[in-house]
Amino acid sequence: MGERKFSLEELAQLTGGILTKTEDITIDKVAPPKLADETTLALAMNEDEIENIAQSKAKAVLVPLGVNLEGISTIEVERPRLAFMKLLNAFYVGPETPREIHPSAVIDETAKIGKNVSIGANVVISKDAVIGDNTALMPNVYIGKGAVIGSDCLFYPSVNVGDRVKVGSRCILHHGVSLGADGFSFVTEAPSNIEQAREQGAIKETNTDVKVFKIPSLGSVEIGDDVEIGANTTIDRGTIENTTIGSQTKIDNLVMIGHNCKIGKACTIVSQVGIAGSCTIGDRVVIAGQVGLKDHVEIGEDSIILAKAGVTKSFPRKSVIMGAPAVLRKDFIKRLKYLDEAEVMVQKYKKYQHLLEDYEKFLNEDAKI
């Protein structure tokens, strides 16, 4: 921030807010009230930050609709977080991506490169790959054979895109993203321990000379439009058909999506989620941090999976899911209630335990007579 400057009228128009102005100010940054100076638009989006305005040097502040302050310019907005997004976009200065091809880039002669592209140092673009117009590939990006990248994309350094992967337009891939690695798919000659446990509930026979064979991944990965994928996230190629990610889906850092998965549109997947192979996730599903999904699970659209859930079965649309093993939220709360009741019962038992023991002793003695 500091490279762009706006009047209060411009920021009010940008956010769709109601401006109450006490003086003309040129704003060159945004910050919380305690960190704001005289050229800052202070962001007081909740009660705590509104209270901090009294300690601020700011002369202008963004507040929720209906908050009235004296002696300071205000911009009132109905949805503060939405206004926050618009403001940060206005002040954001993206990475430098010169619209040129760096001389150290290695581009196969059969590759098709669009107009106005940026290709950084040590980028490798393989045979028959396609790069769309206005796309920027920062240093050390690898694009595999036959991969197709849409227009207006931004790939940060060290992104790896495998063979035949398709990425839509306006996608952002952060540092170290891997698309199209082989799926984790193997088979043994004889039934494995995992197969026995699944079918019989126990491991009865052990093959000490087990041979494990890799199942090749002939499919690829297909990413929709307007998808953002966080740093060091990996999405494996499908075994026969493609692994797919729907348009508008946003994926955080350090997420693992297995082979053959079908992720819907406008999903939100938070850091450290692990989705095993062949899962189907409906549109607009939210998966919170450190959730794990068993293979072949289906989650219906508009569902929410809360943090650290261990999902071992499928759930219908509009489910709120939590726990390990995961259940519907209402069932989880019911179980917690039962646990509380059980604790009360245990305390009562301990209180009258001596009476029960005396009664059992009396019954035993009576039986001997």
Q: How many beta carbons lie within 10 A of that of residue 368, not counting itself?
A: 5
| β-pair partners for 119 | 101, 137
In the set 102, 175, 259, 354, the catalytic residue is 259
1, 28 Cβ separation under 8 angstroms: yes
Rounded Cα–Cα distance for residues 111 and 130 (Å):
6
Cβ neighbours for 244, distance < 8 A, ≥ 6 positions apart: 221, 222, 223, 224, 261, 262, 263
**Can you give the C-alpha Rg of the chain in angstroms?**
29
Rounded Cα–Cα distance for residues 290 and 286 (Å):
12
**Residue 174 designated active-site:** no
Q: Residue 221 is which amino acid?
A: V
Rounded Cα–Cα distance for residues 276 and 260 (Å):
9
- The helix or strand, by DSSP H or E, that contains position 261, with its residue range, turns out to be none
Rounded Cα–Cα distance for residues 127 and 107 (Å):
8
Q: Helices (H), strands (E): how many in the chain? A: 5, 39
Q: Residue 168 is which amino acid?
A: G
Rounded Cα–Cα distance for residues 138 and 194 (Å):
43
Q: What are the φ and ψ backbone dihedral angles of 12, each rounded to 5 degrees?
A: -65, -40
Q: Helix (H, G, I), strand (E, B), or coil: what is residue 341?
A: helix
Quick one: tokens of 4? 């762009």
Cβ neighbours for 201, distance < 8 A, ≥ 6 positions apart: none
| β-pair partners for 285 | none
- The helix or strand, by DSSP H or E, that contains position 195, with its residue range, turns out to be helix 193-200
119, 137 Cβ separation under 8 angstroms: yes
Q: How many beta carbons lie within 10 A of that of residue 52, not counting itself?
A: 17
Catalytic positions are 259
